[in-house]
Structure 1
Amino acid sequence: MQNIVILAGNIGQTPETRSTQGGTKITHFTLATSRPRYSEGKVVRDENGHRVQDTEWHRITAFNGLGKTIDEHCSTGMKVLVRGRIHYTKWTDQQGVDRYGCEIIAETVDFLSRVKQTENSEGKFIDDEDIPF
């Protein structure tokens, strides 16, 4: 059996990177996915006839090189495809209450929209065709 997840959506939170004491870089961002709302087996529509969408938020975690690429080239609103695995965590908070969390550990992230422009060492802006992967 395998633990595989594939999500396509929009980045909802600017990626943030931190380093562990051991030097591992960890990048986190949120991803919004949407699906049509159903009621009694039919798609729900608003007063203008548009489909009503339900949005779900996912916490995405990437490590080291993949995380660095995401941190440098992704921004809020970009469309990405994340392939990875579901990871559940359990911890006890300061009040002694058991807490649970779920995140997606990214193995690959494909850019589905243009990446943010970054400035190179010569002061010129580069776009996605110039990024070395």
Structure 2
Amino acid sequence: MLNRAVLVGRLTKDPEFRTTPSGVDVSTFTLAVNRNFKSKDGEQQADFINCVVFRKQAENVKNFLSKGRLAGVDGRMQSRSYENKEGQRVYVTEVVCDSVQFLEPKNNSQSNNQPKQQGQAQNNPFDNSDDEFSDLPF
């Protein structure tokens, strides 16, 4: 059997961080992962994948990732269910991350639309101003 998920996408919002009662750090976030095709009207389509990461990686995610940042995850798919406050059964499918890669430098958090500062390298490999993810609505 094989259960592996490898994704690259942008965070749809800042990660949520908490510590379990047993003291384990947990970060959850959602990645917007573009599909390889566009809709009939030319709109880029994306899947929104829930991710969860534990322990030291959870703390790193909290400290270094934020809304709109490009990240890569490697992990496994997991399904679970719980009962919400209204007594309804809720089913969740998420990627439990073994590893999270930060694919942009932290100082690249400025908007891609702002002009480049003088002296900044013109061929920055992390400049994503015209990549396929730059048109996501967040």
CA distance in 2, matches of 1:95, 1:76: 30
Structure holding more strand per residue:
1
Q: What's 2:20 paired with?
A: 20
- Secondary structure of the residue that 1:70 maps to in structure 2? helix
CA distance in 2, matches of 1:65, 1:116: 22
**1:116 positional shift:** 5.0
**1:84-110 deviation per Cα after TM superposition (whole angstroms, max 9, x unaligned):** 011101123344432211111111111
Which amino acid in the other structure matches residue 49 of structure 2?
H
Q: What's 1:71 paired with?
A: 62
Identity of aligned residues (%): 26
Name structure 2 gaps, 5 residues minimum: 109-138
The aligned length equals 107
Pairwise mapping of residues 1-133 of structure 1 onto structure 2 (< 5 A)?
1-35=1-35, 36-37=37-38, 44=40, 46=41, 51-115=42-106
Name structure 1 gaps, 5 residues minimum: 39-43, 118-133
TM-score by length of 1: 0.72
CA distance in 2, matches of 1:82, 1:89: 20
TM-score by length of 2: 0.70
**1:22 positional shift:** 0.7
Q: What's 1:120 paired with?
A: none
